[in-house]
């Protein structure tokens, strides 16, 4: 069928399972592999065996896709050749590896699959025989078993040898879907995306809940992040994202709850929304991106109070609980969501000056009891559903709020940090950091035309949308600061050298 043969090796977890469980896992892995290849338009023929899968394909594109299928330990592009005696293996090895080891150091690594009846010699014998043949016939070649320039790999089966140079490492884990279904609460930031990835890696099939506090712009940022997770890491099923708009609850939450408990009550509302959606969609548990001690709401005491918002039969799993922030960011880079998550701002304005680090459950329950009953359930019932794998981002982008020019007489508000604004800003732009803007925008003059600017356009789009709903003439600059600087350079209002001062997320 094809020009290329790939070996797919199974993750170590498979080898610890009972036979019936392993068969079930391997069937699901094959299903997920076929979905990954088909979704990426890669023709293929997949052969499954007890400890290896073999893939025939006319393109090497599969090497980019298959390592992202959980349950795969490594992938190699191989040449398959027949053998009947040891000399055949050495001769074929010289033919395949001889030119590549000339004038370089090398090592031979051999392994075997099959009993002594089918392969009557050990792996070490193959390594010595092929190594000696390469030294004889490859000018300038030298053996270096610790740090070779070239590694010659041979995997033997009875009657067949597979020869290859490299192993493309996968991420191991379990095939998505073998460990049941759960609902992950996501915000578009690093933590919730990485927590979701870790649970997918352990075989849990995920749907997602987004509790919207930032309008259309926040929705777009979250959907961009979660579409990457769906497209690159969720093979074998079609994940859905449920959006529940919690914005209508915020005024009452602020009015009837002590400010020090605002974040705690909000997290409890989110968990209760998650439990309601999970039960309606037959998901068995909730996943969050909380890490111990990362922010004030994530102390052990506060996590205990938050967790008691749901019933004991709905487990809340926190895969990042012991992670450091740098570890989370490293995984976000591996996943391919780092830049997108960096662009998704913190949209919640429930940030008291002195948040509680040791919330009292009785105090929180007393405050919650004053809120309107049934309102959260109404918002859950009104949820919106997105099919992430088939999502058209153009259909959910904010419209009518953007601009790619600065009209005369407009008031330009730069929502970045003061240091970033001081490094460069559009001539005449006023500085107002995003958090302060969220607190004070109602005091702005309605007669003015406002153009809002931030790093990549998400925070400014959110504030422009909120202001527009209250009758302000507000728009945001499409594409954020990078596009604004390009416009300023075009009109000779900015020095191109100043672009070096922009943050990496802005420079792109």
Q: Are 35 and 80 in contact (CB under 8 A)?
A: no
What is the distance between the alpha carbons of residues 258 and 352, in angstroms, rounded to a whole number? Answer: 10
Tokens of 94: 């010289």
User: Which has the closest alpha carbon to 448: 478, 475, 409, 406?
Assistant: 409
Which candidate in 36, 130, 454, 494 is catalytic? 454
Run of H or E residues at 152: strand 150-157
Beta strand 160-164 with 150-157: parallel, antiparallel or unpaired? antiparallel
| Helices 300-307, 361-368: crossing angle, 10 deg rounding | 40
Question: CA torsion, points 225, 227, 233, 237, in degrees to nearest 10?
Answer: 150
CA angle (269 as vertex; 263, 274 as ends), nearest 5: 125
User: Which has the closest alpha carbon to 222: 278, 289, 291?
Assistant: 289
What is the distance between the alpha carbons of residues 211 and 216, in angstroms, rounded to a whole number? Answer: 12
What is the distance between the alpha carbons of residues 9 and 12, in angstroms, rounded to a whole number? Answer: 9
Tokens of 96: 């395949």
**273-to-69, 147, 203, 281, 382 alpha-carbon distances in Å:** 31, 54, 24, 12, 12
Q: Please list, in sequence order, all residues whose beta carbon lies within 8 angstroms of the beta carbon of residue 408, skipping any fewer than 6 positions away.
A: none
Q: Are 350 and 253 in contact (CB under 8 A)?
A: yes
348 is catalytic: no
User: Which has the closest alpha carbon to 248: 212, 210, 208?
Assistant: 212
- List helix spans (H) across 7-65: 19-39, 62-65
What is the distance between the alpha carbons of residues 269 and 350, in angstroms, rounded to a whole number? Answer: 13
DSSP 345-356: --------SS--
Longest dimension (CA), the chain: 89
Catalytic center residues: 454
């Amino acid at each position: 069928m094809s020009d290329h043969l790939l070996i797919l090796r199974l993750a170590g977890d498979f080898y610890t399972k009972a036979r019936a469980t392993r068969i079930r896992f391997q069937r699901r892995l094959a299903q997920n592999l076929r979905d990954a290849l088909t979704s990426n338009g890669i023709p293929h023929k997949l052969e499954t065996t007890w400890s290896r899968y073999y893939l025939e394909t006319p393109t090497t594109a599969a090497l980019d896709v298959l390592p992202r299928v959980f349950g795969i330990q490594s992938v190699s592009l191989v040449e398959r050749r027949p053998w009947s005696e040891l000399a055949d293996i050495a001769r074929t090895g010289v033919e395949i590896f001889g030119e590549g080891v000339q004038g370089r150091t090398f090592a031979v690594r051999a392994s075997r699959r099959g009993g002594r009846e089918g392969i009557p010699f050990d792996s070490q014998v193959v390594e010595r025989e092929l190594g000696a043949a390469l030294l004889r016939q490859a000018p300038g070649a030298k053996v270096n078993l610790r740090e070779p320039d070239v590694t010659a790999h041979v995997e033997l089966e009875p009657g067949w040898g597979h020869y290859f140079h490299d192993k493309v490492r996968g991420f191991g884990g379990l095939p998505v879907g073998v460990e049941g279904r759960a609902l992950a609460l996501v915000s578009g930031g690093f933590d919730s995306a990485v927590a979701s990835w870790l649970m997918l890696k352990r075989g849990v099939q995920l749907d997602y809940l987004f509790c919207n506090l930032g309008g259309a712009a926040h929705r777009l940022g979250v959907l961009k992040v979660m579409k990457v997770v769906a497209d690159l890491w969720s093979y074998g099923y079609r994940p859905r994202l449920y959006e529940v708009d919690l914005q209508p609850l915020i005024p009452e939450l602020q009015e009837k709850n002590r400010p020090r408990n605002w974040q705690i009550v909000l997290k409890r509302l989110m968990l209760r929304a998650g439990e309601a959606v999970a039960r309606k969609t037959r998901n068995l548990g909730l996943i969050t991106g909380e890490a111990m001690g990362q922010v004030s709401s994530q102390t052990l005491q506060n996590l205990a109070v938050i967790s008691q918002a749901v019933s004991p039969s709905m487990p809340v799993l926190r895969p990042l609980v012991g992670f450091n922030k740098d570890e989370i960011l490293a995984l976000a880079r591996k996943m391919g969501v780092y830049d997108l998550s960096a662009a998704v701002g913190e949209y919640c304005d429930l940030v008291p000056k002195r948040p509680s680090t040791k919330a009292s459950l009785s105090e929180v329950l007393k405050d919650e009891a004053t809120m309107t009953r049934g309102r959260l359930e109404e918002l859950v019932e009104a949820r919106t559903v997105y099919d992430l794998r088939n999502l058209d981002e153009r259909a959910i982008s904010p419209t009518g709020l953007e601009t790619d020019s600065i009209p005369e007489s407009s008031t330009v508000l730069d929502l970045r940090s003061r240091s970033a604004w001081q490094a460069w800003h559009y001539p005449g732009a006023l500085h107002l950091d995003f958090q302060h803007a969220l607190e004070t925008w109602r005091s702005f003059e309605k007669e003015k035309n406002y153009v809002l600017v931030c790093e990549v356009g998400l925070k400014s789009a959110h504030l422009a949308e909120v202001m527009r709903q209250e009758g302000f003439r507000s728009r945001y600059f499409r594409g954020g600061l990078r596009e604004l600087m390009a416009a300023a350079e075009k009109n000779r209002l900015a020095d191109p050298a100043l672009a070096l001062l922009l943050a990496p997320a802005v420079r792109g």
